[in-house]
Amino acid sequence: MMRDYEPKKMKQVHFTGIRRVLEKANIVKPGGIILVNADMVEEADLNATRKDVKVVPVHCDTLADQVKNPKGANIVMIGAIAKLLGDFDHETGVEGMNDMFRKKGKNKYEALNAAAFEVGYYAV
């Protein structure tokens, strides 16, 4: 869905379209979890979601800023997802993420990304 928008308009789409996305999140099975960046959603919008799913707000932008990684909101969310899924522990998640970034030649961001992953992991 987001592929149809120009990158410069993406943030606006997130802000204006998030309520509709949450309300129509029919791909999530009853009892499932929807994670949202709480810095992009009004509290009323969170309360307007389906009642048969758990909505987990994560203040991704705020947490990323706290660890001096303002571009790391997505990594914060990955940390939260990893914790909620429970497939691996914090250390394994950080190691796997850092290994992936090393393979892409982006190892200079390891410390920043590890900090963002950690705050997301422990935020939920």
**pLDDT tens per residue across span 25-66:** 777 888 888 888 888 877 766 766 678 888 888 999 999 999
Amino acid in position 84: L
Domain that holds residue 13: 2-121
Judge contact between 56 and 33, C-beta under 8 A. Answer: yes
The span from the CA of 26 to the CA of 20, in Å, is 11
Q: Specify the pTM.
A: 0.78
**pLDDT tens per residue across span 54-113:** 888 899 999 999 999 999 999 999 999 999 999 999 999 999 999 999 999 998 999 999
Domain count, the chain: 1
- CA 85 to chain centroid, in Å, comes to 13
CATH number of the structural domain spanning residue 28 = 3.40.920.10
